[in-house]
Amino acid sequence: MNLIHPLNILYDLCIVGAGPAGIITALEYCRYNPGKKILLVEYGRGRNQHHNALDDSIKIDNPANHYHPYECTNKGLGGTSATWGGRCVMYDEIDFMERSVTGDDCTWGADVLAGLRPYLPKAAEYFECGEPIFNLKDIEEFRGTHIAEGFVEGIVTDSVVERWSMPTRFGSRYSNRLKKTRDIHVLQGFEIRDMQSPNAAGTVTSVKIRNVSTATESEVTAKRFVLAAGTQETTRALLRNKQLFKNLDSIPEALGHYYQGHISGKVASVVFHGNPQKTDYGFLKGKDKTYLRRRFQFTSNFLKEQNLLNTAIWLDNPLYYNPAHRNGAMSLMYLAMITPVLGKKLAPPAIAESITKGMRTGVKRHILNILRELPHSLTIPAAIFYKRYLLKRKLPGVFLFSPENKYALHFHAEQLPQYRNRMYLGEDRETLHIDYSLADEDIRSVIRTHEALDHWLRECGCGELQYWFGEDAIFEAIKGMSRDGMHQSGTTRMAESPARGVVDMDLKLWGTKNVYICSSSVYPTSGQANPTFLLGVFACRLAKHLTTAP
């Protein structure tokens, strides 16, 4: 490897990684600081990279519960937003509270949430997900409406919503803006390698970057650095550059640990007793044409009192692969999804797998379903195809009406921050090992939140749950079905001291004066929420901080 000529500029800011976090940080910083020079270094170059050395050097210890590296992230301008679903969810107050269920080890607090709120509108602009209002009670046209006839809010709520992005592919959406912005220099096809040790004052002045194709190295000098390479790669860069912590008594114990995702799957259906036409099973459309969707959630008090992990549960279709649903449109979509080539075009692999469960089964019965329900088996998917693939603001998902008023329930639950779930470097100092497993408490909490929902629906007289598994089988079923790796967080958590975390409350790396992390790796808890919207909010806040901090 040669060290080739340095890039002869002292940048004001060097950002590593051009996913949503890196792009928002760059554009926001530029907006606040016209004339300041920004370098955005991105590993991926071009669109169709079938293989890359980063993903090839990841070893996952428990593939049953963790997707393959190629299904978890993307490389290139826009990062993993190239395949993300676009679901924008806000974290809840409970996620920022001390709770015994998470071991009273919550290293961020209510003040962090309060400090983020002013940045929600700007982040929502980048995500193109409408006004950042996440409760239907605060939206006039939906106030007082409910998920199903007879539902009453209590310990269970139905008014918190997820919002949906276009889905915005940050690469294609913002590449022109990045190109036109003279002060932002995008360098694609380069990987961050060695970072200089901080001086006694904690200042790092340069990092080495390596050309991914030629392996030649260059040096970048900058006044400040932001690592925004996604959770696994940001963590790998820090594990490889432990000299960054040389001004501390020791390397932060939390580095690489507390890796979290979400527990997710389906174990029950809900049957509502009221008028099926009054069930809000699909998307709501705001006045600005953005899509919203309800979810069942639980109040903070209830979760705290009952020692439960934060959980969202939403209405879903029955399992596609099982022809017993007798729905012609679903059968057609399932067959399309398992058709080689076509299936890959319809959804990214991890999403497709979550729909088909990797099963190729009952083809004849699926065909019978299609024939029995003609022409609807064709017209419904055709209308969905048009809305989902041909419109600019795409229909974010497919949820079908049930005349029986019966829907599958999809749970999406917080995962305990466990020290033993971790990322660490192999002896070659290149391979990133990922140890990831579910705790029994994760699974028990999912079971208990379902019981609480069932109890509440029965109490309202609105409906009840029907389980797909017996009491003795449900635990193992959840353990077997839940897979993540798409919503990575926790490995560089923020905390008020290096004894408990890796970055401070401003996202500055402990032990340095000018190295920051902008990634969901800084979240100490995973909540029920998908991570990216909040990450955009953090990016907006960081850009402001970099502007105002001395």
Ligand X SMILES: Cc1cc2nc3c(=O)[nH]c(=O)nc-3n(C[C@H](O)[C@H](O)[C@H](O)COP(=O)(O)OP(=O)(O)OC[C@H]3O[C@@H](n4cnc5c(N)ncnc54)[C@H](O)[C@@H]3O)c2cc1C
Judged by CB under 6 A, does residue 189 bind ligand X?
Answer: no
Whole-number Å distance between alpha carbons of 121 and 225: 25
Which position among 66, 87, 262, 450 is part of the footprint of ligand X (CB under 6 A)? 87
Judged by CB under 6 A, does residue 490 bind ligand X?
Answer: no
Q: Are 101 and 445 in contact (CB under 8 A)?
A: yes
> Rule CB under 6 A: which of 22-41 touch ligand X?
22, 41
Q: Given the structure tokens 């598994």, which residue do they identify?
A: 469
Q: Which residues pair with 40 in a beta bridge?
A: 15, 186
Distances (CA, A) of 494 to 103, 184, 245, 545: 16, 28, 15, 16
Q: Are 539 and 230 in contact (CB under 8 A)?
A: no
Which position among 128, 191, 373, 435 is part of the footprint of ligand X (CB under 6 A)? 191
Judged by CB under 6 A, does residue 274 bind ligand X?
Answer: no
Structure tokens at 112: 């962090």
**Nearer to ligand X among residue 463 and residue 536 (C-beta):** 536
Peptide bond into 348 cis (omega under 30): no
Which position among 14, 30, 60, 73 is part of the footprint of ligand X (CB under 6 A)? 73
Segment interacting with ligand X, rule: CB under 6 A, options 80-88, 153-161, 264-272, 315-323: 80-88
Which position among 109, 150, 276, 348 is part of the footprint of ligand X (CB under 6 A)? 348
Which position among 81, 310, 356, 525 is part of the footprint of ligand X (CB under 6 A)? 81
**Nearer to ligand X among residue 85 and residue 115 (C-beta):** 85
| Minimum separation from the CB atom of position 90 to ligand X (A) | 10
> Rule CB under 6 A: which of 350-409 touch ligand X?
350-351
| Minimum separation from the CB atom of position 316 to ligand X (A) | 15
Judged by CB under 6 A, does residue 491 bind ligand X?
Answer: no
Judged by CB under 6 A, does residue 69 bind ligand X?
Answer: no
> Rule CB under 6 A: which of 39-68 touch ligand X?
41-44, 54
| Minimum separation from the CB atom of position 423 to ligand X (A) | 13
How many Å from the N-terminal Cα to the C-terminal Cα in the chain?
37
Judged by CB under 6 A, does residue 487 bind ligand X?
Answer: yes
DSSP secondary structure string, 425-487? E-TTSSPEEEE----HHHHHHHHHHHHHHHHHHHHHTSEEEEESS-TTTHHHHHHHH--BSSS
**Nearer to ligand X among residue 369 and residue 530 (C-beta):** 530
**Nearer to ligand X among residue 94 and residue 238 (C-beta):** 238
Judged by CB under 6 A, does residue 314 bind ligand X?
Answer: no
Q: Are 413 and 528 in contact (CB under 8 A)?
A: yes
- Strands 515-517 and 184-188 turn out to be unpaired
Question: Residue type at 290?
Answer: T
Judged by CB under 6 A, does residue 17 bind ligand X?
Answer: yes
Using CB atoms within 10 Å of the CB of residue 431, give its burial: 0 to 12 exposed, 13 to 18 middle, 19+ buried.
Answer: middle
Detail the DSSP E strand segments found in 44-85: 58-60
Judged by CB under 6 A, does residue 284 bind ligand X?
Answer: no
Judged by CB under 6 A, does residue 293 bind ligand X?
Answer: no
DSSP secondary structure string, 82-122? GT---EE-PPPGGGGS--GGGTT---S-HHHHHHHGGGHHH
Angle, vertex CA 358, rays to CA 356 and CA 359, nearest 5: 80
**Nearer to ligand X among residue 328 and residue 531 (C-beta):** 531
| Minimum separation from the CB atom of position 328 to ligand X (A) | 27
Judged by CB under 6 A, does residue 526 bind ligand X?
Answer: no
| Minimum separation from the CB atom of position 267 to ligand X (A) | 22
Structure tokens at 453: 């929902």
Region of residue 362 (phi > 0: left; psi between -120 and 50: alpha; otherwise: beta) = left
Segment interacting with ligand X, rule: CB under 6 A, options 11-19, 118-126, 256-264, 423-431: 11-19
Contacts to ligand X by CB under 6 A: 16-22, 41-44, 54, 72-73, 75-76, 79-81, 83-87, 191-192, 228-230, 233, 237, 348, 350-351, 486-487, 519-520, 530-533, 535
